[in-house]
């Protein structure tokens, strides 16, 4: 898809997708939205799908996001959990902001959990980290870095024995 084509191409920009607030809880596996395109009471649901669904899918790549268009008398969101249970959210006659706010409080992860997870992910993901529990135990494993002095002796210019000689 070309960048500036279609309706509201901002929805496809990385900044917009990353700005999504809703990160679903781990136990939610399927997120489905049913709505109609006609009717004043469906406007919120329709706009929610148009504006926020890309963000939700981007932020939750392991969740199946489905939409059911024109198959329901009133709009609703249904989440299927990993233990077979379901949670139904009625979104009749609500604005898209209200819906998102409610979802954040019910099926979304709280801010503290998200922060903790980002810290944990950073530790694991950042290739610059080294030490216990990281990808590499020592910085010297990278090509071009100074080898550990235990393995290869440092050049004399770096060794105090030669650098700090008085005479």
Partner 1 sequence: MISHKFVLNRACPILIQCAQAHRKPRWFPVAKSKIYRIPKRPQLSEEERLEILRITNNYKTQMRAVRKFYTDDMVKEKSTLESATSEMSQRLEAEEWQRCEELNEKWNKQIATEREERRKKELSEMEDFALARMEAIDREKRERVEKASEQIKREKELSETFISREKLEEAIDYALANPVDYNYAIDLKGNMHTGRDTPIQYENKERVQVSSN
Here the tokens at position 119 are 């810290």
Cβ neighbours of 99 (radius 10 Å): 21
Looking at beta carbons only, is 64 or 106 nearer to partner 1? 106
Taking the complex as a whole, the smallest distance from the CB of residue 77 to partner 1 amounts, in Å, to 10
Instruction: Please classify residue 44 by burial: count the beta carbons closer than 10 Å to its beta carbon, then call 0-12 exposed, 13-18 middle and 19+ buried.
Output: buried
Q: Which of 155, 132, 156, 128 is nearest to 142 (CA)?
A: 128
Taking the complex as a whole, the smallest distance from the CB of residue 100 to partner 1 amounts, in Å, to 13
Looking at beta carbons only, is 14 or 119 nearer to partner 1? 119
Looking at beta carbons only, is 17 or 81 nearer to partner 1? 81
**Residue ranges binding partner 1 (CB under 8 A):** 25, 27, 41, 74, 87-94, 102, 105-107, 110
Here the tokens at position 91 are 């979104």
Most distant CA pair in the chain: distance in Å?
94
Looking at beta carbons only, is 49 or 107 nearer to partner 1? 107
Looking at beta carbons only, is 82 or 141 nearer to partner 1? 82
């Amino acid at each position: 898809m070309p960048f500036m084509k279609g309706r509201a191409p901002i929805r496809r920009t990385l900044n917009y997708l990353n700005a999504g607030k809703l990160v679903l809880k781990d136990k939610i596996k399927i997120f489905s939205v049913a709505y109609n395109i006609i009717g004043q009471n469906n406007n919120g649901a329709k706009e929610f799908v148009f504006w926020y669904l890309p963000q939700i899918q981007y932020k939750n790549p392991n969740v199946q996001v489905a939409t059911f268009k024109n198959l329901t008398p009133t709009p609703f969101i249904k989440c299927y959990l990993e233990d077979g249970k379901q949670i139904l959210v009625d979104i009749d006659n609500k604005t898209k902001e209200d819906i998102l706010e409610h979802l954040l409080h019910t099926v979304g992860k709280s801010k503290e959990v998200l922060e903790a997870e980002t810290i944990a992910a950073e530790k694991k993901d950042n290739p610059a980290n080294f030490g216990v529990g990281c990808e590499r135990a020592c910085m010297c494993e990278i090509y071009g870095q100074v080898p550990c002095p235990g393995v290869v002796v440092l050049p004399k210019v770096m060794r105090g024995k030669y650098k700090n000689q008085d005479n």
